[in-house]
Structure formats: C-alpha cells, structure tokens
Amino acid sequence: MLLLTLLTVHCFRPTVLMSLLFKKIKVHHGNVDRRLRRVILEDRAEQKQDQHPVKMPNIKVFSGSSHPDLTQRICERLQLDNSKAVLKKFSNKETNVEIVESVRGEDVFIIQSACGEVNDNLMELLIMINACKIASSSQVTAVIPCFPYARQDKKDRSRAPISAKLVANMLSVAGADHIITMDLHASQIQGFFDIPVDNLYAEPAILKYIRESIPEWKESVIVSPDAGGAKRVTSIADRLNVDFALIHKERKRANEVDNMTLVGNVKDKVAILVDDMVDTCGTICLAADKLIEAGAKRVYAFCVHGVLSGPALERLNKSAFEAVVVTNTIPQEDNMRKCPKIKCIDISMILAEAIRRTHNGESVSYLFSNVPM
Ligand SMILES: *[C@@H]1O[C@H](CO)[C@@H](O)[C@H](O)[C@H]1NC(C)=O
Ligand SMILES: *[C@@H]1O[C@H](CO)[C@@H](O)[C@H](O)[C@H]1NC(C)=O
C-alpha cells in the first residue's frame, strides 16, 4: 500500500528516481512492474522531446528555384514546412517574386545555389532577400551552398573583374544580414562581406564517405590536381593518416591545361583526387591519366561542387576514374542518370544543422569536424 502511494507521488519525478524505485519493486509485484515500466518509457519519451525541441518558432525557410530538392531535405531534417513563395518570370524575362506568408519579425532563411541559370537565380535570390527585408523580417540569411562567381576572386591579370566581390556587395545591398555557404573557392571571399559569413565544409562528409566506401583507403594517396588545393588535400590526408601528392599544372587560358607534373608517389596505391569544384572536367581527367601513368592502381575524384557543365559528362564517361564523387550543393540526379561514374554525397544535414544552430544562437564550429547525425 505504501509502495503504491509512493508510486503515484513519484509518477512525475525524474527517471533516475523512478528506475531506482522500479528496481526495488520489481522483485515482488509483477503487474505493478509492467505499469511502472510504461510510465518510465513515456517519461523518457517526453524528456527526449524536451532535449531536442522539434518546433522552432519564428523561423521561415524559403527555397529559390535553383535547388528545391535540397530545401526539401533541409526542411525535413528541421521538421519544418518550407515557406511559400511564388517565383515567376514575366514575359520579358524579368523575375517576379511573391512572398506568400507573413515574415514580420521572423528569422528568414533563403536557400539558393549557383546552378542552372546562374544569373537568373542570383537575381531571384537578391529580390527574395529584399522582399523579406522590406516586409519587416527580423533577420535574413542567404544560404548559398555553391557561391556564384567564386572563381572570379582576384585581379590576376589586367582589367580582370573581381566579380565575387561584386556579388558580395549586391547581397549586402539587397539586405542580407548573414551568409551561410559551403567550401568557398577561396576562403578570403568571406572578407568581401561586412556581414558574418559561415563557410561550412563538406570535408567531414567526404572523410566519412571515403572510410565507408573505399575499402583500400588506408593504402591511398590523396592528390591535389593543382598547387592551390594543397592545403585542403593535406588536411584530408592528415585526418586519414595517409600520404598526399600534388600535380603541378601550367594553365595558359581558363578551362585549358598544358603540361602536368606529378609531385609525390602513387605507385601501386589508390589515388584520390580532391578538389573544391569540378566544371568541364578537362583538368581532372588529364590528372587521372597522369596518375594511372604513374602507376596508381585506381583513381577516384572527390569534388564538393559538381558543376559539370559542357563536355564534362562525356569526358568523365571516357575517363580513367573508378568513381567521381560530388555533393548535392548542386542537383545531381540528371548527371547521375547520364554518367554512371558520378556518385553523390548528401550534405543537407550539414546545412540544416547550421540553420538550426544559427537560429538558436549556437556555435557552428562543431560542423567543421563532425557530420551531424
Ligand atoms: C610539356 O612537357 C614536355 C616535356 O616535359 C615538353 O616537351 C613540352 O614542350 C611541354 N609542352 C608545353 C605546351 O609546355
Ligand atoms: C555514359 O555512358 C553510359 C553507359 O555507360 C551511357 O548510358 C551514357 O549515355 C553516357 N553518357 C554520355 C554523356 O556520353
């Protein structure tokens, strides 16, 4: 009797106490035991929900027209519905944006990547940012998984435009308060902004993929296809505890390669080329041939942004690669259908977690070395 009273009294006490009690009673009372177990399980379920709040108030996630699939995945992870906006073109090709839901006082995230019609999508993003800004949202964050014009980041010849800086200015003028992006082609681009820029990395997801899907990864060499990528490659090689090599190339014109020299040893190893971006694939296909020539057993490529424009797919089809692994910062369904060598890593959970943490005012540095579950 005393025990039962105790039971009712302690029904809403912390689980620890309950389980202590539970252990004591267990010996004598079979059916009390079962009821108690149910109470404890329910209690635990409630606590779990308390630890991971499902609902996030005052947040709106909009999708630009470049990559609705990614937005969908992000929203699913955040357990949110994506917010409604009607995106249209007038007959003279002007972009028209209508934000259907109220954003007053809301923390707005707009997801738009540099793919498809890059210029139109950039304009659309600017208009969406501005529309949300002047509709009294509390903060507008542009989530740009692949940053447009990131390759035009320096004045490396006479009269060269620094278009990445221009894009940065345009985003700020439109009203963006914060930028979330991934593997910027040059991390200095962060400095083109006066607003905070979170440059996330696909590296943890790539490391995970290498460990899980390349059986001989412990015998591999990580190779950079150019001197500029040496830092990225050494970081990955260090984390995998394997060797690295790099290819020195002389490039006379954009998207055109002349001569290549391999620095390092890949003989009888699995060579893994790593780069931040792959576009027409001219360079990496030549690099693959070079690595095979130098005695590599197999060659893989890992690139964060699979732009894959122009003759890229044909080139990859004919190339020496075992597989070319990219992420879905840019949609890849079509490319994967057309070229069986392309594999895709989903990075939506990294962006979703960055959005969640930004919204809750938490640090995002956890994401630099971990893949969120
Ligand atoms: C490439 O290198 C080879 C030998 O290393 C040289 O004979 C050739 O002229 C070079 N080609 C160019 C375009 O520099
Ligand atoms: C690549 O090869 C596959 C068959 O292996 C073929 O179905 C596909 O059409 C090819 N794609 C291109 C772009 O050549």
Check pocket membership of 314 for ligand 2, CB cut-off 6 A: yes
pLDDT, residue 37, reads 59
Stretch (H or E) spanning 178: strand 178-182
Mutate to test the pocket of ligand 1, among 251, 257, 259 (most ligand atoms within 8 A of CB): 259
Q: CA 229 from chain center: how many Å?
A: 19
Q: Which ligand is nearest to the CA of 290?
A: 1
Centroid of ligand 1 to alpha carbon of 258 (angstroms) = 8
The yes-or-no verdict on residue 36 having pLDDT over 60 is no
Q: Is 284 helix (H, G, I), strand (E, B) or coil?
A: helix
pLDDT band at residue 255 using 50, 70 and 90 as cut-offs: low
Tokens of 241: 């505890």
pLDDT, residue 216, reads 92
The yes-or-no verdict on residue 90 having pLDDT over 80 is yes
Q: Which ligand is nearest to the CA of 310?
A: 2
Centroid of ligand 2 to alpha carbon of 160 (angstroms) = 37
Tokens of 310: 């122009």
pLDDT, residue 52, reads 52
Whether residue 291 contacts residue 271, with contact meaning beta carbons closer than 8 Å, is answered with yes
pLDDT, residue 213, reads 94
Check pocket membership of 338 for ligand 2, CB cut-off 6 A: yes
CB atoms within 10 A of CB 227: 12
Whether residue 307 contacts residue 281, with contact meaning beta carbons closer than 8 Å, is answered with no
Q: Which ligand is nearest to the CA of 312?
A: 2
Least confident span in 28-42, 49-63, 126-140, 179-193 = 28-42
Stretch (H or E) spanning 115: none
In total, the chain counts a number of residues equal to 373
Mean pLDDT of 222-236: 92
Mean pLDDT of 308-335: 96
pLDDT, residue 170, reads 98
pLDDT band at residue 259 using 50, 70 and 90 as cut-offs: confident
Q: What is the mean pLDDT of the chain?
A: 88
Centroid of ligand 2 to alpha carbon of 300 (angstroms) = 18
Mean pLDDT of 331-341: 96
Mean pLDDT of 303-319: 95
Stretch (H or E) spanning 140: strand 139-144
Mean pLDDT of 254-267: 81
Centroid of ligand 1 to alpha carbon of 259 (angstroms) = 6
Tokens of 104: 């007053």
Tokens of 359: 């919204």
pLDDT, residue 227, reads 86
The rounded distance, in Å, linking the Cα atoms of 270 and 297 is: 5
Residue closest via CA to ligand 2's atom 13 equals 314
Residue predicted with more confidence, 2 or 176: 176
pLDDT, residue 56, reads 78
pTM of the entire structure?
0.82
Residue closest via CA to ligand 1's atom 7 equals 259
Closest CA to 168 of 153, 183, 157, 185: 153
Whether residue 230 contacts residue 246, with contact meaning beta carbons closer than 8 Å, is answered with yes
Least confident span in 15-29, 119-133, 243-257 = 15-29
Residue closest via CA to ligand 1's atom 10 equals 259
Closest CA to 203 of 151, 308, 279, 274: 274
- 42-64: per-residue pLDDT in tens? 555 555 544 454 567 899 999 99
Please report, for residues 65, 182, 187, 246, 359, the alpha-carbon distance to residue 128 in angstroms, rounded to integers and kept in the order given. 11, 20, 25, 42, 19
Q: How many CA atoms lie within 13 A of 23 on its CB side?
A: 5
Give ligand 1 pocket residues (Cβ under 6 A): 258-259
The yes-or-no verdict on residue 23 having pLDDT over 80 is no
Residue predicted with more confidence, 54 or 95: 95
Whether residue 222 contacts residue 242, with contact meaning beta carbons closer than 8 Å, is answered with yes
- 341-373: per-residue pLDDT in tens? 999 999 999 999 999 999 999 999 999 999 998
